[in-house]
C-alpha cells in the first residue's frame, strides 16, 4: 500500500470516527479519556494525522456502541459458489444429478455452503 493510500485511509477513518462521535453527542475529551489518550493525540486521529491503533479502535467502537466495520471499511472476500462446490466434493459430498440432469451434490452441501458463506460475509440481516 502506498503512503498516499495510507494517508487517505487515515483521513477516512478519522472522518468516520468524528462523524460517529458527533452523531452520538460525545465530546473529544470524553472519548479521549475513555481510550485513554490525551486530547491532542485523539484530535490527530480524527484529523487523519495519526492512525488509530487496534486497541484504540476497539475502545472507540465500544464507547460509541458501533461495530468496527462502521469505522474501518472492511469488505469480506466474495466466496464463489463454484469454490464451495469444489470444496464440498473434496470433502466427500456425493455428486448426483437433479431432475433436469444437472450435476449436483447432496442436500448437506447447502448447509455446508451456508455456513461458509455466513462465516465469510458475517451474520445475515433480518
Q: Classify each residue of 9-41 as buried b or exposed e, where b means 16 or more C-beta atoms within 10 Å of its C-beta.
A: ebeebbebbbebbeeeeeebeebbebbebeeee
Instruction: Give the whole-angstrom CA distance, residue 111 versus residue 115.
Output: 6
Split the chain (126 residues) into runs of 10 and give each run's mean pLDDT: 66 92 95 96 94 93 91 68 71 68 61 61 46
> Which pLDDT score is estimated for 42?
96
Structural domain includes residue 51: yes
The CATH number of the domain where 30 resides is what?
1.10.260.40
Structural domain includes residue 53: yes
Structural domain includes residue 126: no
> Which pLDDT score is estimated for 2?
43
> Which pLDDT score is estimated for 124?
46
- Tally of structural domains, the chain: 2
> Which pLDDT score is estimated for 123?
47
Amino acid at each position: 500500500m502506498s503512503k498516499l493510500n495510507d494517508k487517505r485511509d487515515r483521513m477516512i477513518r478519522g472522518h468516520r470516527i468524528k462523524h460517529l462521535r458527533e452523531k452520538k453527542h460525545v465530546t473529544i475529551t470524553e472519548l479521549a479519556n475513555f481510550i485513554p489518550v490525551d486530547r491532542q493525540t485523539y484530535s490527530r486521529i480524527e484529523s487523519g494525522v495519526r492512525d488509530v491503533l487496534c486497541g484504540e479502535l476497539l475502545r472507540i467502537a465500544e464507547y460509541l456502541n458501533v461495530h468496527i466495520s462502521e469505522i474501518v471499511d472492511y469488505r469480506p472476500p466474495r466466496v464463489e459458489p463454484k469454490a464451495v462446490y469444489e470444496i464440498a466434493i473434496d470433502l466427500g459430498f456425493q455428486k448426483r444429478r437433479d431432475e433436469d440432469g444437472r450435476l449436483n451434490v447432496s442436500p448437506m452441501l447447502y448447509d455446508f455452503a451456508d455456513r461458509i458463506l455466513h462465516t465469510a460475509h458475517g451474520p445475515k440481516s433480518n
